[in-house]
Every structure is written in C-alpha cells, then in structure tokens.
Amino acid sequence: MTMHATNAATDSGTASGAGARLRLDPTRCSGHGLCAELLGEHVALDEWGYPIIADRAIPAQLLADARRAVTDCPALALRLDIAAREGAARL
C-alpha cells in the first residue's frame, strides 16, 4: 500500500498523455505567474496572482507547454508527474 506508481510511463495510456499531472509545491511558489502564461488552458491565477491548477490530467497536446512551465518556473515549484495514479501519492 505504500508503493508508488512512479515509473509507470510505459502504461498504454501515455501516448495520449493520460495520467500526466502538474504538481505544485505551494511553499515554494511565490506567484510569479509564468505557469499561467505558458499553460493558460490548465493554470488560472487567483486574485493574488498565485496559480490554481486544474484538477485533471494534462492532455497530450499540452504536454510540451507543461514541461516548459515546469522548467521555466523561477521558484522551481512545479513538477510533472507522469502517469501518477490517482491517490498514489497518499496512503
């Protein structure tokens, strides 16, 4: 029950990007807002400029933008979980 689905990139669904999720470390984020610029389809900003990330998998056509958002985040607060299963990160 403590196992993680970390290396499940070979799942049949990954061709369509199914399961790729954008994760935010809210303690690192300082609201630069770049992620919302780069990935507006998936990231909105709250009234104070901090990201609200859609609670769904990243569609395949947005994966490249999502990777860019992760690498360009000035606070290094974003991470892309490939094919992380729902609830796998939590016991």
Partner 1 sequence: MATQPSDTSVYQGSDFRRLLPYPDRSLSLEQHRALYGPASYRGAPQVLIDEVRAAGLTGRGGAGFPTYRKLEAVLRAAGGAVVVANGAEGEPASCKDRTLLYSDPHLVLDGLQLAAEAVGARQAYAYIHPDQRVLRRVREAVAERVRAGVDRVPVTVVEAAPRFIAGQETAVVHRIEGGLALPRYAPLRVSERGIGGAATLVQNVETLAHLALIADYGAGWFRAAGTSDEPGTLLATVHRPNATPRVIETAPGAPLGELLGLDAATAAAGGGSAPRAVLIGGYHGTWLPADRATALPLTNAALRAEGASLGAGVLAALPADCCGLRETARVVSYLAAESAGQCGPCLNGLPRIAHALRVLAGPGVHARERADVSRWAGQIERRGACHHPDGSIRLVRSALTVFEEELWRHGQGMCVASNDRAFLPLPSPMNPPRTDEDWR
Instruction: By CB under 8 A, name the binding residues for partner 1.
Output: 1-2, 4, 23, 25-31, 46-50, 52, 89-91
Residue 50 or 59 with smaller CB distance to partner 1: 50
For the CB of residue 45, give the shortest distance to partner 1 in the complex, in Å.
10
Q: Which structure tokens are listed for 45?
A: 């900003």
* Residue spans of alpha helices (H) in the chain: 34-38, 63-72
For the CB of residue 26, give the shortest distance to partner 1 in the complex, in Å.
4
Q: Which structure tokens are listed for 3?
A: 């196992």
In our burial notation (b when 16+ CB lie closer than 10 A, e otherwise), range 18-41 reads: ebbbbebeeeebeebebbbebbee
- Counted residue by residue, the chain has a size of 91
For the CB of residue 88, give the shortest distance to partner 1 in the complex, in Å.
10
Residue 13 or 49 with smaller CB distance to partner 1: 49
Residue 9 or 89 with smaller CB distance to partner 1: 89
Residue 15 or 48 with smaller CB distance to partner 1: 48
Q: Which structure tokens are listed for 42?
A: 């998936």
